[in-house]
Amino acid sequence: MHISWSFLDKKKAAVSAIEAFTSMEFIINHTDEEILEVRSGLEGVGAQNLSGMPKAGDPQSGEDRLINGIAEIDVLKERYRQAVEYMNWFKPTWEQLSDDERFVLELFYLSDSTGAADRIAEEFGIDRKTAYNKKYKAEEHLSVLLYGKW
């Protein structure tokens, strides 16, 4: 393993991976719609100038619009590829966590975290401090599953 792994804060990286989950899921679910939207903007033909007066605009504006649209589609496809790669990496690990660990991490990171510790304490019949300890243990377990332990 590369020496840089010893300087990685694995717990923070695991938390960042959790926080990225909803964004990656959104990208996977909506990229097709976004590509269709961009493509529909590429299909139109520029309007004719019926006044007979010469245009003062850019004669290559149509080509520029097509090039920009194609470049935007390429960016959307790359973003989608990265989201799928993330899901292939993260989701199997996420599923290895216990139901309780997933519940705790979902409350803190994938939903409105306001009152998460109180809700966890109520769910498990524990105090707030123990609820936070459950969160820290779940984060640690996820970070070990994702990055290994040194």
Task: State the residue for tokens 């993260």.
Answer: 90
- Whether 97 maps to a domain, the answer reads yes
- Whether 25 maps to a domain, the answer reads yes
| Residues 11, 144 contacting (CB under 8 angstroms) | no
- Whether 54 maps to a domain, the answer reads no
Q: What is the chain's length?
A: 150
| Residues 132, 122 contacting (CB under 8 angstroms) | no
Average pLDDT over residues 16-24: 94
As a whole-number percent, the residues of the chain with pLDDT over 70 amount to 85
- How far apart are alpha carbons 17 and 147 in whole angstroms? 11
| Domain with 21 in it | 8-33+62-147
DSSP 110: I
- Whether 69 maps to a domain, the answer reads yes
Q: What is the pLDDT of residues 58-100, one digit of tens each?
A: 667 778 888 899 999 999 999 999 999 999 999 999 999 999 9
- Whether 47 maps to a domain, the answer reads no
- Whether 126 maps to a domain, the answer reads yes
Query: What is the structure's pLDDT at 126?
Result: 94
The residue ranking higher by pLDDT, 3 or 69, is: 69
| Residues 137, 14 contacting (CB under 8 angstroms) | no
- Whether 16 maps to a domain, the answer reads yes
The tally of domains found in the chain comes to: 1
Q: What is the pLDDT of residues 48-61, one digit of tens each?
A: 666 666 666 666 77
- Whether 111 maps to a domain, the answer reads yes
Q: Nearest CA to 47 among 57, 38, 39?
A: 57
Two structure tokens written together for 73: 């589609």
| Residues 69, 39 contacting (CB under 8 angstroms) | yes
